[in-house]
Amino acid sequence: MIFRKDTWIEILGSVSKNKARTTITVIGVLWGIFIYITLSGAAKGLDNGFEKQFERVAMNSMFAWAQQTSVPYDGFKTGRQLQLKLRDVTILKNKIPEIQFIAPRNARGVFGGETPMASRNQKSGTYNVYGDFPVLVKIATKDIYDGGRFLNEEDVQHARKVCVIGERTQKELFNSEEKPIGEFIKIGNSFFQVIGVHKYAQGGGFEDDGDIFIPFTTFKQIYNTSDNVSWMAIAAYDDADVIKVEKKVKKVLKEIHRVAPEDDQAFGSFNLGEIFNKVKGFSKGLTFLSLVVGVATIFAGVIGIGNILLISVKERTRELGVRRALGATPYEIKTQIILESVFLTLVSGVLGIILGALVLAGINALTKDVDDFPYTNPTVPIPYIIGALLIMVVLGTLIGLIPAQRAVSIKPIDALREE
Amino acid sequence: MGSNVLHVLKGINFSVEEGELVAIMGSSGSGKSTLLNILGMLDLLDSGTYTLDGVPIVNLNETKAAKYRNKFLGFVFQSFNLINYKSALENVALPLYYQRIPRKEREEVAMQYLKKVGLSEWATHLPSELSGGQKQRVAIARALAAQPKVLLADEPTGALDSTTSYEVMQLIQEINDEGKTILVVTHEPDIANMCKRIVQLKDGVIIEDKKITQIRASDYV
């Protein structure tokens, strides 16, 4: 009976000719699925947005820097200022096999020190300057505009006076029609040749769109930093637990610098994996919440359908009585009511999905160019949609059973007498 | 309602031959509608037997009754009982829907019967756009559409003025002339006199059952 075309034409007739009832019924479930789609799509968009913000940085990476000791140890007083050295890098790499990449870094401007001035012709500005190794890009990706490149091993080896500048640096030091690659800018008292312009990407933490990167060795010469290292960026292998690596790194550093093993103040560290997991946990929680709220709203909508069908069955007692007098079996009457319920649920469900998708697309279009709002490509996975539709069909059937049973519980003769 | 047992019919014994046009008369409460409902399998009998076209109607559950109603019986009600959101044509086609007849064929047959009652031009109209007499003629077309053995009419003219009543009776007589067996419940003597046999009920028993000379409704129109 369900697969007869006529059955559906009959149901279509019944629902399309009772417009007010149909509309009210449809709105209930439509609203439910709309909320469900919009919420879970938005949650997914946030999730994607967070992921995008973090995609520039290796998720299992960490940073470590030196501070002051807080425990006297090995003949040293408390409060000793510690300094990371370039040789620490090799020791760390040798002692901790989980480390994939390790990039020692120095900087002027960002963590204290005077922000260096850069100039070209009559234009000038102050920018943070970093002394880096090429391995940095393995830990925190740098997008370089066409025609340029990042620092390489040769640059470091020969302490070349080359630099990678930021988008903002380019904008402020060059005219819009000038090509910066190959040109020279003055940083402090030295001239540097520009080898690349990096694209600014949100999510890199303290870095910004004006940053200038120069070879570590060049930095050392200019600022006279000898083998000192401000901090280290470390990436662990994908299968390694970065939290354990963080602990090991600190342990090894304490050994090298003769610091008490229990001294928690001596070295600072920051673990992106942990932060990332917290953010992911938040968006997971949001997804779950939206799922619960959405399903609950669908549930409420379907109950609304049941409610209205129950009233409409009462209203249609006479019609159903006539149908039975004309030869409709109780099974046919029941099927009709249930199918009306399922049909209404499905139609409103599909409408709700379309409406929800439109709203999501709208939000996506509005937030496309907003970089600091973590919201990207809000989608609802197809299984979620199919799941929701299935839930609706099942609930629609179940809720339809009540008015259907009511419809056939009245004897046809009583139904016909009903005024 | 359920616990109150009320014996409306107290021993009815009568049979109707094929092609008869029988009026069942009686004052209200005499049991005439109950009798018709039992014949129409809309109501159940407590005891006794009922044979329709040689088929004993026993062990009647709702599904079985529905099938019998669809196959053997056509109903005409005092209040027409057309489905208000369906056009005249769709109303007439409804019993055929429950016979699983394909849509096209259903509409052809329905159109044929609408033509028979003179309303083919009103096929697409809703009941609310029809007069009382037209509604009853649509209802008669609907009752005939499934080609039942018997037509059961419960006060078919009860809601109509006398001119329209006679028009409806004329139609019923014409259908009877073609050989259809028809039972009409009425309390109006002039309507009863247009039948071929009058059964008088009082307090649940038959007090009179006589054949009469039919008065043609066309004489009045």
Q: Answer whether 0.95 is exceeded by the pTM.
A: no
Q: Does ipTM top 0.85?
A: yes
Q: What is the CB-side half-sphere exposure of residue A284 using CA atoms within 13 A?
A: 6
pLDDT of residue A204: 52
Assess whether pLDDT exceeds 90 at residue B141: yes
A135 and A34: one domain? Answer: no
List CB contacts of A381: < 8 A, sequence separation 6 or more.
A44
Residue B179 clears pLDDT 80, i.e. is over it: yes
Are B63 and A331 a contacting pair at CB < 8 A? yes
Question: Among B90, B98, B103, whose Cβ lies nearest the Cβ of A328?
Answer: B98
Are B40 and B116 in contact by the 8 Å Cβ rule? The answer is: no
Contacts of A408 in chain B (CB under 8 A): 62
- pLDDT (tens digit, 9 = 90+) per residue, B54-87? 888 888 888 888 888 998 999 998 889 999 889 9
Do the domain assignments include residue A296? Answer: yes
Q: What is the rounded average pLDDT of the residues A188-212?
A: 81
Residues A282 and A224 in one domain: no
Smallest CA–CA distance, residue A418 to chain B, in Å, is: 11
Q: For residue B155, what are the β-bridge partners?
A: none
Q: Is the pLDDT of residue B170 over 50?
A: yes
A326:B75 CB<8 A: yes
Residue A203 has pLDDT above 60, yes or no: no
Quick one: pLDDT at residue B2? 45
Tell me the chain A residues in contact with residue B142 when contact means C-beta distances shorter than 8 Å. 326
Check CB contact of B103 with chain A, cutoff 8 Å. Answer: yes
pLDDT tens digit string along A233-280? 999 988 888 888 999 999 999 999 999 999 989 999 988 878 878 888
CB atoms within 10 A of CB A125: 16
Show which of residues 104-133 on chain B sit within 8 Å of chain A, judged by CB atoms.
none
Residue B53: left (phi > 0), alpha (psi -120 to 50), or beta? Answer: left
Residue A127 resides in a domain: yes
Q: Which of 49-78 (B) contact A at CB < 8 A?
A: 62-63, 66-67, 69-71, 75, 77
Between chains, do B66 and A327 touch, taking CB under 8 Å as contact?
yes
Residue B50 to chain A, least CA–CA distance (Å): 18
Tokens of A217: 């060795």
Regarding whether A197 and A113 lie in a shared domain, the answer is: yes
**Which of the pair, A53 or B13, is modelled with greater confidence?**
B13
Exposed e or buried b for every residue in A268-286, given b needs 16+ CB within 10 A?
Answer: ebebbbeebeebeeebeeb
Q: Which of A406, A412, A397 is nearest to A319 (CA)?
A: A412
Residue A61 pLDDT greater than 50, yes or no? yes
Which range of residues forms the domain containing residue A128? 99-236
| Boundaries of every domain in chain B | 21-46+57-219
Note whether residue A107 is domain-resident. Answer: yes
CB pairs under 8 A, 24+ apart, for B132-138? Answer: B132/B80, B132/B159, B132/B160, B132/B161, B132/B164, B133/B160, B133/B164, B133/B167, B133/B168, B135/B80, B135/B82, B136/B76, B136/B80, B136/B160, B136/B164, B136/B168, B137/B168, B137/B171, B138/B80, B138/B82, B138/B88, B138/B91, B138/B92, B138/B114
- Looking at residue B221, its pLDDT comes to 64
pLDDT band for A287, please (50, 70, 90 cuts): confident
Q: What is the share, in percent, of chain B residues with pLDDT greater than 90?
A: 52
Query: Of A208, A236, A264, which residue constitutes the final position of a domain?
Result: A236
* Max Cα-Cα span within chain B: 50
Phi, psi of A207 (to 5 degrees): -75, 155
For A325-342, how does the pLDDT look when each residue is reduced to its tens digit (9 = 90+)?
Answer: 898 999 988 988 888 888
Question: How far is residue A251's CA from residue A248's CA, in Å, rounded to a whole number?
Answer: 5
Q: Which residue of B has its CA nearest to A336?
A: B98
Which amino acid is present at A255?
A: E
Residue contact A6–B97, C-beta within 8 A: yes
Q: Which of A204, A236, A268 is the last residue of a domain?
A: A236
Q: Do A411 and B43 touch (CB under 8 A)?
A: yes
Domain membership flag for residue A136: yes
- Domain match, A281 and A412 both: yes
Residue A22 pLDDT? 83
Q: How confident is the model at residue A159 (pLDDT cuts 50, 70, 90)?
A: very high
Mean pLDDT value across chain A: 86
Q: Among partner residues B63, B70, B90, which is closest to A326 by beta-carbon distance? A: B70
Q: How many CB atoms lie within 10 A of CB B27?
A: 11
> CB-based contact (8 Å) between A196 and chain B?
no
Q: Does residue A368 sit in helix, strand or coil? A: coil
Radius of gyration of chain B (CA): 17
CB A396, CB A345: distance < 8 Å: yes
Check if B43 contacts A (Cβ < 8 Å). Answer: yes
Look at chain B and count its residues. Answer: 221
CA distances from B74 to A193, A326, A327, B85 (A): 101, 7, 10, 21
Residue A54 has pLDDT above 80, yes or no: no
B84 contact residues in A (CB cutoff 8 A) = 319
Statement to judge: residues A293 and A367 lie in one domain: yes
Residue B65 and residue B57: Cα distance in Å, rounded?
A: 9
Binned at pLDDT 50, 70 and 90, residue B30 comes out as: confident
Looking at the structure, tell me whether residues A39 and A150 fall in a common domain.
no
**Residue A345 one-letter amino acid:** T
Residue A64 pLDDT grade (very low, low, confident, very high; cuts 50, 70, 90):
very high
Residues of B in contact with A416 (CB under 8 A): 42, 77, 81
Q: Which of B72, B33, B78, B74 is nearest to B56 (CA)?
A: B72
pLDDT tens digit sequence for A77-115: 888 999 999 999 999 999 999 999 999 999 988 776 788
Q: Which residue of A has its CA nearest to B68?
A: A327
Whether residue A37 is contained in a domain is answered as yes
Which of the residues A326, A335, A408, A410 would you substitute to probe the B interface, choosing the one with the greatest number of B C-beta atoms within 10 Å?
A: A326
Q: Which of A210, A228, A232, A207 shows the shortest CA–CA distance to A219?
A: A228
Say which range, A273-277, A344-348, A388-392, B89-93, has the weakest mean pLDDT.
A273-277
Asked whether residue B1 carries a pLDDT value surpassing 50, the answer given is: no
B192 vs B42, higher pLDDT: B192
Q: Compute the mean pLDDT over every residue in chain B, rounded to the nearest whole number.
A: 89
Residue after which a domain boundary falls, among A210, A236, A262: A236
Residue A77 lies in a domain: no
pLDDT confidence of residue B183? 94
Which residues in A lie closer than 8 A to residue B66 (C-beta atoms)?
A: 324, 327-330, 332
Residue of B nearest to A419 (CA): B79
Burial of A124 (0-12, 13-18, 19+ CB in 10 A): middle
Residues from chain A that touch B90, judged by Cβ atoms under 8 A, are 13
Q: Which residues of B touch A411 (CB under 8 A)?
A: 42-43
From CA B194, how far away is CA A37, in angstroms rounded? 68
How many angstroms separate the CA of residue A417 from the nearest CA in chain B?
A: 10
Please answer yes or no on whether B43 and A318 come within 8 Å at the CB atom.
no
- H-state helical runs in chain B: 32-39, 62-72, 88-97, 103-116, 132-145, 162-177, 189-192
- Is A98 touching B (CB cutoff 8 A)? no
Q: Give the right CATH number for B21-46+57-219 from 3.30.70.260, 1.10.645.10, 3.40.50.300, 3.30.465.10.
A: 3.40.50.300
Rounded Cα distance, B122 and B118, in Å: 9
Query: How many contacts does A have with B, using Cβ atoms within 8 A?
Result: 74
Residue A79 sits at the vertex; the CA angle it makes with A76 and A82, to the nearest 5 degrees, is 80
Residue range A29-50: average pLDDT?
Answer: 84
DSSP at B219: G
| Pairwise CA distance, residues A409 & A320, whole Å | 11
Of B43, B66, B90, which is closest to A413 when you measure between CB atoms?
A: B43
Does the residue A91 lie in any domain?
no
User: For the range B6-13, what are the long-range contacts, defined as Cβ-Cβ under 8 Å and sequence gap of 24 or more?
Assistant: B7/B46, B7/B204, B8/B34, B8/B204, B9/B34, B9/B35, B9/B38, B9/B45, B9/B204, B9/B205, B10/B203, B10/B204, B10/B205, B11/B204, B11/B205, B12/B48, B12/B201, B12/B204, B12/B205, B12/B206, B13/B206
**Do the strands A184-187 and B51-52 form a parallel or antiparallel pair, or are they unpaired?**
unpaired
Highest mean pLDDT among A398-407, A408-417, B1-10, B138-147: B138-147
pLDDT at A180 over 80: yes
Work out the number of other CB atoms within 10 angstroms of the CB of residue A173.
22
> Is the same domain home to A284 and A231?
no
Place of tokens 């046009």: B21
A291, with CB counted inside 10 A (0-12, 13-18, 19+), is middle
CB contact under 8 A, A325 and B69: yes
What pLDDT, in 10s, does the model give residues A299-327?
A: 888 888 888 888 888 888 888 889 988 98
Distance from CA of A400 to the nearest CA of B (A): 20
Cβ(A376)–Cβ(A203) below 8 Å: no
**Is A201 a member of any domain?**
yes
Residue A386 and residue A249: Cα distance in Å, rounded? 48
What is the CA angle A332-A333-A337, rounded to 5?
A: 115
Do A320 and A413 belong together in one domain? yes
Top pLDDT among B221 and B35 is at B35
CB A191 within 8 A of CB A184: yes
- CB-nearest to B77 from A5, A17, A416 is A416
Q: How far off is chain A from B77, nearest CA to CA, in Å?
A: 9
Look at the block and give the residue holding tokens 């009860």.
B158
Total domain count, chain A: 2
Q: Is the predicted pLDDT of residue A140 greater than 90, yes or no?
A: no
Position with higher pLDDT, B182 vs A144: B182
Instruction: Write out chain B residues lying below 8 Å of A412, CB-based.
Output: 42
* Closest C-alpha to B69, from B89, B87, B106, B94: B94
Confidence of residue A372 (pLDDT cuts 50, 70, 90): low
**Average pLDDT of the residues in A16-41:** 84
